[in-house]
Structure 1
Amino acid sequence: MRSLARREESSPAQRNMFSNFFSDIDRMFDDDMFLMPMHMSRMANASMPAANISETEKEYNIELAVPGMKRDDFNIEIDEHMISISCEKEDNFKEDKDNYKRREYNYSSFSRSFRLPETIKADSIKAQYDNGVLHIRVPKAQQTVQKKKRINVD
């Protein structure tokens, strides 16, 4: 990290040709160059909503924390036991006042997919958005319990 102490600048006559080179190297290490990949992965995951998945006797529950969205922003699709949840939202803000103009854009999106078991009722899946949380209920199909049966050999 950069130190809070002020560096004394030397006069041009006292500087040698390596002084700028070494100060640039110092600055590179001060800016946490080696931690950059970690910071970039955090930024990439910042837009990925947290998910909770639970199971009861009758259904699977998927909850995604996505505050600030509207019901119409979500797109939920099922394709071959894969549920895909995506969202895109674009906001524009424009303000004109006497001495200034302000215009801001905000775009956010995400996409998450989860593999579902084969024993579900795909036609009965329900989704609800409430207080910043998207709730998806995936009912289980009733599994038929086969009774014991004796097969005679002819």
Structure 2
Amino acid sequence: MNTLSVWRRSPFETQAQFDALVRHSLSPATGFAPAAEVGRDGDDALVKLELPGVALDDVTVEVESGRLVVRGERKDPREESARGRTEIRYGTFRRSFTLPKSVTADAVSASYDAGVLTVRVAGAHTTAQPTRIEIATA
């Protein structure tokens, strides 16, 4: 008895085609969004971003229209021909966080240690004293 089996081609006929698809989907054009943690230290706000493999020269921290904006780029140091499959995302990123109206750029400082960028916004949680409003009678 002969057995007939139907053979279907995989959408990825070769490993090279699959590798090209993965490389394209993880290309610098897609960029990435670094993980962020927003917390509090007394009256200060702390924003921590995971940026392993990102050179400090490729990162900017700005106060722009009432927002804290962190942008940069993780560059792939390998030559195009040497790139294989990777789960590391390369490309540009931009994260922004709303600041209280009372915060100015002078209140913002940043430091980088062990792949983590920490931005401190001094006095972000300082609450103003309530002002009592007189109620007029008619």
The reply to whether TM is greater than 0.5 is yes
On the 8 A contact 2:69/2:94 being kept in 1, the answer is yes
Structure 1 residue runs of 4+, over 6 Å off?
43-46, 149-153
Going from structure 1 to structure 2, the CA distance change for 1:73 and 1:59 (only over 3 Å counts) comes to same
Residue 129 (structure 2) pairs with residue 145 (structure 1): yes
Q: Once the 2 structures are TM-superposed, how far is the Cα of residue 103 of structure 1 from its aligned partner?
A: 4.8
Q: How many residues align?
A: 116
**Higher RCO, 1 vs 2 (CA within 8 Å, ≥6 residues apart):** 2
Length-normalised TM-score, structure 2: 0.60
Matches of 1:113 and 1:78 in 2, distance apart?
9
| More strand per residue | 1
Going from structure 1 to structure 2, the CA distance change for 1:107 and 1:55 (only over 3 Å counts) comes to closer
Which one of the candidate residues 47, 72, 77 is aligned to 1:87?
72
The structure whose Rg is larger is 1
Length-normalised TM-score, structure 1: 0.55
Query: Percent of aligned positions with the same letter in both sequences?
Result: 27
Residue 38 (structure 2) pairs with residue 53 (structure 1): yes
User: What's the Cα RMSD here?
Assistant: 4.0
1:109-148 alignment runs, 5 A limit: 109-140=92-123, 142-146=126-130
On the 8 A contact 2:58/2:73 being kept in 1, the answer is yes
Going from structure 1 to structure 2, the CA distance change for 1:93 and 1:126 (only over 3 Å counts) comes to same
Task: Mark the runs of 5 or more structure 1 residues left unpaired by the alignment.
Answer: 1-9, 29-42, 95-101
